């Protein structure tokens, strides 16, 4: 009876939120096998029973409750745990995200408290290990085969492969930093060395920072294979702990800024800015050309 009541509330919630939306047609199958068809107002007025672009299968009460919440986190968690399955056009299903919320003030507060209670280094190390120390083979299943780029690629046409788009991105960063042979670069959150190795192949010296022990082991091996007179130096530390006598011509942060922007400390952006200024050669600039949240800092004196 509880499941049945939950199903009815779910149907009412979906119809109320989706009826007037310009959303693709989809079907919803509930735990008891009952199928409900959702169509937007245009389909209804036209009397069309359009084929569904995708189907959502709710396996149990946990899936019902997750969908009822219209909460991104709860729905994603239910999908990972197989309480919800999606069949068909996944991109069309993602279009429904505009109906969901992602507001978690208590979790946000806890992130601040965690740093205060356990310290920044311990908090960061635990988070990085949880996310990245899962075995490199897992990441090889979806990263490009040529560079192992773990951030957005840059497609110049719809016909390019993932490997080509990754190389477009790396070329863009090198050009934005105006790197030339002998340039010294600091790679924040170096991942599996995609940018570092690419820059070293152009004769640059790159210091690679990571907090992941598995990534550090991989980068250490990679550093012995630096091509074309470039030098690769791995460091198991964050930018806040990094100390260096030499100044860098460029600092690259690919896919890191979007995470550091959420660092639970009010002074984190100021600390980051002050740290990069101390590490760069005098007269550096923050490059205004960005790919979404990919940031680069470069000296105007670097030739390229």
**Residues 79, 123 within the same domain:** no
Q: Can you give the CATH number for the domain in which 26 is found?
A: 3.30.1050.10
**Residues 292, 186 within the same domain:** yes
What would the mean pLDDT of 216-240 be, rounded to a whole number?
Answer: 87
Q: What is the pLDDT of residue 49?
A: 62
User: Of the ranges 237-241, 246-250, 262-266, which one carries the lowest mean pLDDT score?
Assistant: 262-266
Q: What is the rounded distance in angstroms from the CA atom of residue 46 to the CA atom of residue 129?
A: 53
**Residues 108, 254 within the same domain:** yes
The number of angstroms, rounded, from the C-alpha of 265 to the middle of its chain's C-alpha atoms is 20
Choose the final residue of a domain: 58, 82, 99: 99
Is residue 257 within 8 Å of 295, Cβ to Cβ? yes
**Single pTM value for the model:** 0.66
Q: What is the pLDDT of residue 264?
A: 46
Residue 134's domain spans which residues? 104-304
Q: In degrees rounded to 5, what are phi and psi of residue 160?
A: -80, 150
Q: Is the model more confident about 38 or about 215?
A: 215
**Residues 90, 11 within the same domain:** yes
Q: What is the pLDDT of residue 48?
A: 54
Q: How many C-beta neighbours within 10 Å does residue 298 have?
A: 25
Is residue 165 within 8 Å of 153, Cβ to Cβ? yes
Q: What is the rounded distance in angstroms from the CA atom of residue 69 to the CA atom of residue 72?
A: 9
Report the number of distinct structural domains present in the chain: 2
Q: What is the pLDDT of residue 98?
A: 76
Q: What is the rounded distance in angstroms from the CA atom of residue 203 to the CA atom of residue 226?
A: 9
Residue 261 has pLDDT above 60, yes or no: no
Q: What is the rounded distance in angstroms from the CA atom of residue 15 to the CA atom of residue 150?
A: 38
Q: Is the model more confident about 13 or about 238?
A: 238
**Residues 63, 191 within the same domain:** no
pLDDT band at 106 (very low <50, low <70, confident <90, very high): low
Choose the final residue of a domain: 99, 115, 142: 99
Q: What is the rounded distance in angstroms from the CA atom of residue 143 to the CA atom of residue 163?
A: 9
Choose the final residue of a domain: 56, 83, 99: 99
Q: What is the pLDDT of residue 288?
A: 38
Q: Can you give the CATH number for the domain in which 146 is found?
A: 3.40.50.150
**Residues 66, 144 within the same domain:** no
Nearest partner of 299 among 287, 283, 279, 276, judged by Cα: 283
**Residues 137, 92 within the same domain:** no
**Residues 17, 44 within the same domain:** yes
Each residue of 166-182: pLDDT tens digit?
999 999 999 988 898 99
pLDDT band at 120 (very low <50, low <70, confident <90, very high): low
Residue 47 has pLDDT above 60, yes or no: no
- 3-state DSSP assignment of residue 143: coil
């Amino acid at each position: 009876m509880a499941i049945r009541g939950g199903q009815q509330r779910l149907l009412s919630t979906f119809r109320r939120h989706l009826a007037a939306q310009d959303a693709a047609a989809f079907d919803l199958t509930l735990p008891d096998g009952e199928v409900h068809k959702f169509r937007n107002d245009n389909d209804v007025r036209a009397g069309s029973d359009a084929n569904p672009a995708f189907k959502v299968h709710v396996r149990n009460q946990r899936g019902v409750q997750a969908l009822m919440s219209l909460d991104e986190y709860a729905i994603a968690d239910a999908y990972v745990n197989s309480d919800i399955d999606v069949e068909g056009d996944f991109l069309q299903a993602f279009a429904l995200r505009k109906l969901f919320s992602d507001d978690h003030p208590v979790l946000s507060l806890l992130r601040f408290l965690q740093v205060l209670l356990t310290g920044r280094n311990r908090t960061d190390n635990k988070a990085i290990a949880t996310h990245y120390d899962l075995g490199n083979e897992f990441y090889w299943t979806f990263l490009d085969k040529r560079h192992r780029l773990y951030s957005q690629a840059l497609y110049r046409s719809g016909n390019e492969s993932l490997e080509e788009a990754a190389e477009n991105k790396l070329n863009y960063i090198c050009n934005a930093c105006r790197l030339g042979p002998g340039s010294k670069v600091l790679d924040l959150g170096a991942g599996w060395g995609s940018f570092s190795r690419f820059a070293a192949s152009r004769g640059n010296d790159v210091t690679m920072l990571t907090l992941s022990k598995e990534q550090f082991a991989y980068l250490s091996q990679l550093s012995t294979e630096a091509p074309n007179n470039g030098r690769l130096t791995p460091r198991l530390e964050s930018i806040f702990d990094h100390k260096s006598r030499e100044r860098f011509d460029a600092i690259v942060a690919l896919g890191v800024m979007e995470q550091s922007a959420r660092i639970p400390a009010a002074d984190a952006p100021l600390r980051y800015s002050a740290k990069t200024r101390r590490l760069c050669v005098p007269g550096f600039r923050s490059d205004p050309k960005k790919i979404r949240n990919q940031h680069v800092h470069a000296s105007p004196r670097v030739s390229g």
